[in-house]
Amino acid sequence: MSDETTQTPARAGDQQRPTPPAGSGPVLPPLRIGRHVIESPVVLAPMAGITNRAFRRLCREYGNEGTALGGASGATSLYVSEMITSRALVERTPESMRLIEHDPDENPRSIQLYSVDPATARAAARMLVEEDRADHIDLNFGCPVPKVTRKGGGSALPWKKDLFRAIVGAVVEEGGRRDIPVTVKMRKGIDDEHLTFLDAALAAEEEGVAAVALHGRTAAQAYSGTADWEAIRLLKQTVTSIPVLGNGDIWSAEDALRMVEETGCDGVVVGRGCLGRPWLFTDLAAAFAGSSARVTPTLGEVTDTLRTHTAYLCDFYGDEERGCRDIRKHIAWYLKGFPAGSTVRNSLALVDSMASLDALISTLDPDAPWPGEAAEGQRGRAGSGRVVALPDRWLESRELTEEHRRTIAEAELSVSGG
């Protein structure tokens, strides 16, 4: 790579450091995940192809700025890796080993595992624990992608109560060997007729998890419609000994504050809301610390952030061209609402080097102000509801049949994630 890729330009909001309002105080206490104290009660949701080490670094830097705005020192949020398939991790595939890498200053080191088999989940967790590769493990029971649910994984798995409990219990036991807390992220259920979140959360609580997070949608909804925050409120009322985190439709710090007010949740999980908006973690940290400070960057500050993100990706991959290919999917999110013509947008979506990125950025007006409402709202996947792909006769019983045992035995072999 050229030296050019390692430069770190100014980022959105670098000049925006207002003083917190007098008399303000924290909206929530620090989030406790086992032995870890997270000053700002915010978690970066694992997102496939997004929350790699490069993006986590960018979000972490912004989160630290936000805690400073709110008057906290040295604190940040919790930034979780993208989903890692347990089988791939146990087999030490090159991609899985890349995905579990952390920056030296990442703390806690947080990894999300996907598994449909208790033995494989245990083996993956044991590897992370014995080789000191993680300080926190999250378990994915929320993925709605058909290739996952079709094999009984992700958001389909909690329907099989004993299987769910066995996987959670195995990973908690392994984590307990070195005081590494385990959390569970899930959805409401398969569809409105097959809800699983309450009994799954209670089972997870009994098995010793440190927290549960609920995305207020079913698998059938995917990312469509509106997240059901009432389900988060009900879960908080039901699970009383561990933190409950809410996820879904948090596009701004104000959305997060409203979720806490309406549900009583102990913290929030942010996914699509930070796409092209890593400074959302500045806003969230400041908001939860009681500050009204918000980042409203100019186009120049946004493109500086875009460039920094690209440089971090080039470093992550050790390959400038690959890093530039990866940033392409972020372009529309970063530029949403700003005056950038279709020609430049299309060219940026084909960028293949830092030099070409710089040349295209130079054609944009750096002084263009934050466009306000036009830049806000939904980013990333939305789509429409659907019938969930499931193994044959999956819904006939909540117990695991021999047929389904054979089905899920193949599942980790067919799901990438590492």
Question: What's the DSSP call for residue 309?
Answer: H
* Kind plus residue range of the DSSP H or E element containing 31: strand 31-33
Helix (H) or strand (E) holding 184: strand 182-187
Residue with tokens 């050790």: 318
Q: Does residue 413 contact residue 289 with C-beta atoms inside 8 Å?
A: no
Task: Report the 10 Å Cβ neighbour count for 300.
Answer: 17
* DSSP-derived secondary structure for 347-408: HHTT--SHHHHHHHHTTS-TTPPP-GGGG-S--S------PPP--TTGGG-SSPPHHHHHHH
Cα distance between residue 87 and residue 400, in whole Å? 20
Do the beta carbons of residue 266 and residue 244 sit within 8 Å? Answer: yes
- Render 101-120 in DSSP notation, one character per residue: ---TT-SS-EEEEE-S-HHH
Q: Which residues contact 105 (CB under 8 A, 6 or more apart)?
A: none
Give the three-state DSSP class for 149: helix
Q: Is 146 helix (H, G, I), strand (E, B) or coil?
A: helix
* 143 catalytic residue (yes or no): yes
Where do the DSSP E strands lie in 35-174? 36-38, 42-44, 78-85, 110-114, 136-141
Any idea what the Cα angle at residue 231 is, between residues 228 and 232, rounded to 5°? 95
What's the token pair of residue 100? 């579990």
Backbone angles phi, psi at 62, to 5 degrees: -70, -40
Other CB atoms within 10 Å distance of the CB of residue 192: 11
Within 8 A by CB and 6+ apart from 57, the residues are: 103, 106, 312
* 318 touches 1 (CB < 8 A): yes
Asked whether the beta carbons of 186 and 142 are under 8 A apart, the reply is yes
Among 59, 143, 274, 314, the active-site one is: 143
- Which of the residues are catalytic? 143
